[in-house]
Structure 1
């Protein structure tokens, strides 16, 4: 009786299993580490090569390569969503004040980084991009009576800071301003505040200055009481 031939391995030896692809293992490891961002590109490159190595049973590990690529895709989508959200809303970014946001103002002027309680201003202003200083002895419209640190968050455009400023500035006015003298002299004043503009706010500047404003510039001499608290922020 004829014996069939066609052995695929020597008699008495078990068949050898294909080796597991090292690149497939590396793809899985790098894909799972995609939360760190840097491993994502190597994971994709090695994963593509590993799929070729493990095709048609050449080597084992095709599932590992596919799993690594899937993990890399998941982390890539997450990073794209995170970066897209941050770039679409730049006001969410905060950092320490930089030299650009605290540049030296022109002579006779102040900005949000150089203004201080006790300073007198020639004209009433709504922001401290650059304000003109004047002597408190001569007639002026505005005096800085104190400061507070605003709550962190997106830049408060419009009147979004008004409620917080009113609370802090009323407290500072009661503490620092010589209201009886102003009333006796018949000087009408409004309570106001100077907040950082958008760029300084994005750089981390949160100091808001409380001001007392005379619309008809009838302030002469400082409105502050003797020994007023001139700290920034005003305690």
Structure 2
């Protein structure tokens, strides 16, 4: 006869795999490489030993994968934006120059240099385009070319010089509305000012 007051036997429950718990914690705090590795090892151990914690290991694996994707996407976005900003041709156009400045490296950084040493060009006019909506690149270039061309003969003493200009880009408008006209010698560097 069985004792009615005897404790009811409980089914045996195996212990929870420690690596599964660790993988969940590390996945939650974005330590994804270690968390993913621990989750994989935990799943293998759980399958072999019958321990509990399969759901924890899968959750740790999922969190680790989530953080890996987020960090990879952020890195790619940062690189793409960095490259885009580094190669934007309009960045030098946001600088402000004054009449009489001599510049070197017209196709690059536009370094200011003393006019007494060899240089690529000299600023001979700076003017602002009319306020309002950005008129478009073609209209801006037409205005810049027309006015720079008209003022070149007023400033320089040598009519064999060429002209180039910097103009405001759309993403700098309306803060930057100035056009910078630069005289240069197509035959080589200038030495001294070209002002009349």
Normalising by structure 1, we get a TM-score of 0.43
Higher helix share: 2
Q: TM-score, normalised by structure 2?
A: 0.49
